[in-house]
Amino acid sequence: MRLAIAGAGDVGRSVADLAGEYGHEVVAITDSAGAAVDADGIDVEGALERKVGGKPIGSADPARAFETDYDVLIEATPTTLGDAEPGFTHVRRALEADRHAVLANKGPVAERYEELRALEADSAGSIRFEATVGGAIPVLSTIEDCTPQAVTAARGVLNGTANFILTRMAAEGLDYEHVLAEAQDLGVAEADPTFDVDGTDAALKFVILANVLADGGFSLEDATVEGIQDIPGSALELAAEDGRTIRLIGEASREGVRVGPRLVPENGALAVTGTRNIVQLETKHAGSLHNSGRGAGGPETATAVLSDVGRLPDR
């Protein structure tokens, strides 16, 4: 397939880097300042070198990416809330041109799911978005394999930063502020970790899960969300006295979405440590399934994007 990649952050760059290995060709990659476009395949290495060197990724107008002959748009611009722009418009342009779109950007799928599905219904192209939930972990494809009707709920840990902070607090008996600073030094937490620690990032992923289970109907404002900023070390100590610990747990079902700090058994499946993520699917006929792994990172998320590309029907 010929890929046009919108967004040249960690994920967009990793998709470009790994596309060849998966048998695909990159015909365009854009960032906010420019684009590299070539219908015969761009020079990926040169484009990534320019980007990493602080230069625009290419000299073309980003809009040109949509005019070239591509099969799949990879939407990997930063997640935005509300109208989910510019990601939503990118996907709309692809579908209106009867191209496929694979999203790593959570915004459009969490905030405007029904509109996306309506555009898809009118298009010869399809959308896929495995990379929006749990990075490398196959969550949505597992639900698809089980058929969504047979999955009653999804629960688990889908934010590595919050999980790292809670793990360190429990292990070292340190307070939130201290561990957050450490996580920032290690590059685990961003300079502005707000969406990770206040539950928003996890909530977007569980909203997407609820949309898949219920075939739409949810956006971020329908979710009940609490973060971990107010959890002191003493709460984790009390939890440990009883063989429990605290994790930022999300729950998605056809009834709603909830994210907040919860008590879970210390040695239970959901008490993953460090930046690891886990999703538990409750099925109608087969009990629980657990999928665990790396929930973030450029190459990790890119593998989910490229697996989606492989699942697309031929155009």
Partner 1 sequence: MGDVSEPESDEEEAETDGGVRAYTVRLELVDEPGELLRALAPIADNGGNLLSIHHERGNITPRGHIPVEVDLESPPERFDGIVDALRDAGVNVIQAGAEHYGEELNVILVGHLVETDLSGTLSRIEDEADAVVKDLSLAAPDGTDATASARLRLAIDSGRTEHAFETIRSIGADKELTVVEPLTGGEA
Residues lying near partner 1 in the complex (CB under 8 A) are found at 153, 155, 226, 230-235, 237-239, 241-242, 244, 246, 249, 260-265, 268-270, 280, 282, 287-288
Q: Residue 232 Cβ, how far from partner 1 at the closest point, in Å? A: 6
Q: Is 11 annotated as a binding residue?
A: yes
The nearer residue to partner 1, 192 or 230, going by C-beta atoms, is 230
Q: Is 255 annotated as a binding residue?
A: no
Q: From the centroid of its chain, how far is CA 308?
A: 13
CA 78 – CA 80 distance, rounded (Å): 6
Q: Residue 166 Cβ, how far from partner 1 at the closest point, in Å? A: 11
According to DSSP, the residues that pair with 264 across neighbouring strands are 245
The residue ranges of DSSP E strands in the chain, in sequence order, are 2-6, 25-30, 35-37, 72-75, 100-103, 127-128, 151-157, 223-225, 244-253, 257-265, 276-283, 288-294
The nearer residue to partner 1, 120 or 282, going by C-beta atoms, is 282
Q: Is 190 annotated as a binding residue?
A: yes
To which residue do tokens 């994210």 refer? 259
The nearer residue to partner 1, 128 or 244, going by C-beta atoms, is 244
The question of whether 205 is a catalytic residue gets the answer: yes
Identify whether the C-beta of residue 249 lies closer than 8 Å to the C-beta of residue 264.
Answer: yes
The nearer residue to partner 1, 137 or 304, going by C-beta atoms, is 137
Token pair of 111 as six digits? 């905030």
Q: Residue 239 Cβ, how far from partner 1 at the closest point, in Å? A: 6
CA 315 – CA 313 distance, rounded (Å): 6
Q: Is 12 annotated as a binding residue?
A: yes
Q: Residue 266 Cβ, how far from partner 1 at the closest point, in Å? A: 11
Q: Is 10 annotated as a binding residue?
A: yes
The neighbour count for residue 132, using CB atoms within 10 Å, is 27
- Which are the catalytic amino acids? 205
The annotated binding site is made up of 7-12, 106, 190
The annotated binding site for NADPH is made up of 106
